[in-house]
Amino acid sequence: MSAVIEVANLEKSYGSLKAVDDVSFSVEEGEIFGLLGPNGAGKTTTMECVEGVRQPDGGTIRVLGADPGSRSIELLNRIGVQLQEAQLQKRIKVWEAVALWTTLFPNPLDGENLLGELGLAKKRNARFMNLSGGQKQRLFIALALINDPEVVFLDELTTGLDPQARRAIWELVLGIKERGKTVFLTTHLMEEAERLCDRVAVIEHGRLIELGTSEELIARHCPERTVLVASDGDLDAETFSQVAGLGSIEREQGGLRLTGTGSGFISGVIERIAARGVRVTDFQTKSPNLEDVFLKLTGHSIRD
């Protein structure tokens, strides 16, 4: 695999506010790469610099080997962009918007086929102002794909959508990857990042503070697992004292809470239950996810 996006020592300020501070990362060909962070962390500014929409104050950016700041026609024909905040004329029809976009590129995809693939064929005559939030997002994805780009930028593409629309768009994004495209997206939805992204980078106060797969970040920052065991008889804590990776045992009403680390911890608890013939009435496991990592890295306070 080769890097199709390379960012080194990126800097961007707005007056005294340093929105992006010495950020470096690369995006590999064919992967879905997610940039995560709280509101105001610098995600959109970073993406806009990489897209060439915004001029950085320092550092270097290469997209498909070219400087996006040059706004070269060759590069613009090879990328697709869905902006965080975008609008069309209220009364423009879906098919008209797609037809207009096809005139902007030398070798566009078939617009009608694209509308069918994105579930918008029945809405081709609908006006933009009458589309639902999910339909508008799918239309913007269609416009971002009309030139059959090699790299697709998606900025907060499911913010404000209901769960059904969100999951439908997730399937569309996975479909983009299956077509061999590279996807660079920003999000503050951890479930979205965990579902879609091959790798993620976490940005906080303009600085990149973590980078890796979800599994790597969880193992690095939140390795602890929890097992809750309840029985209709007396549970002896000593039963589990020799489980590999055990960290602590706490007695709770009706059972025990065991915490530990390592891939064999949960299976070790199960093996001890089976070996001692414990009659279990409830058994629950709790494993950390990317949201736990995100909160540990960026804190729990609400951001404006």
SS3 52: coil
pLDDT for position 214 = 96
My answer on whether 138 and 281 are in the same domain is no
pLDDT at residue 302, as a whole number: 56
Determine, yes or no, domain membership for 33.
yes
Joined together, the tokens standing for residue 47 give 């993406």
Picking from 177, 197, 219, the residue at the C-terminal end of a domain is 219
Flag whether 302 is in a domain.
no
pTM (2 decimals)? 0.88
Same domain, 245 and 231: yes
- Please give the pLDDT value at position 301: 60
Per-residue pLDDT, 161: 82
One-letter amino acid at 267 equals S
Are residues 46 and 117 both part of a single domain?
yes
Is there a single domain that holds both residue 280 and residue 210? no
Same domain, 241 and 205: no
- 45 lies in some domain: yes
For residue 44, the surrounding DSSP H or E stretch is: helix 43-51
- On whether residue 37 sits in a domain, the answer given is yes
Q: What per-residue confidence (pLDDT) applies to 247?
A: 93
Residue finishing a domain among 202, 219, 236: 219
Per the domain annotation, does 233 fall within a domain?
Answer: yes
304 residues of the chain, pLDDT tens digit each: 689 999 999 999 999 999 999 999 999 999 999 999 998 899 999 999 999 999 999 999 999 999 999 888 999 999 999 887 788 999 999 999 999 999 999 999 999 998 998 889 999 999 999 999 889 989 999 999 999 999 999 998 888 888 888 888 899 899 999 999 999 999 988 999 999 999 999 999 999 999 999 999 999 999 999 999 998 877 888 889 989 999 999 998 779 999 999 889 999 999 999 998 888 999 999 999 999 999 999 986 655 5
Quote the number of domains for the chain: 2
Q: Give residue 84's pLDDT.
A: 77
Rounded-to-integer distance, Cα 153 and Cα 208, Å: 19
Print the domain residue range for 203. 3-219
**Per-residue confidence (pLDDT) for residue 303, from 0 to 100:** 58
Say if residue 90 is in the same domain as residue 185: yes
**Do both 172 and 252 map to the same domain?**
no
Judge if 163 and 233 occupy the same domain. Answer: no
* Domain CATH code at residue 120: 3.40.50.300
Residues 119 and 251 in one domain: no
Last residue of a domain, one of 219, 240, 265: 219
Cβ atoms of 102 and 146 closer than 8 Å: yes
Quote the pLDDT of residue 1.
61
Residues 75-99 have pLDDT tens digits of: 999 999 988 778 899 999 999 999 9
Contact 296, 220 (CB under 8 A): no
In a domain, 301, yes or no: no
Spatial neighbors of 165 by CB under 8 A, at least 6 apart, are 132, 133, 134, 137, 158
Identify whether residues 190 and 230 lie together within a single domain: no
Residues 122 and 268 in one domain: no
Distance, CA of 105 to CA of 99 (rounded, Å): 11
Which domain CATH number covers 270?
3.30.70.980
Quote the pLDDT of residue 178: 93
Domain membership of residue 261 (yes or no) is yes
Q: What is the pLDDT of residue 300?
A: 61
Does a structural domain hold residue 279? yes
185 and 78 part of one domain: yes
Q: Determine the angle formed by the axes of helices 94-102 and 133-145, rounding to 10 degrees.
A: 20
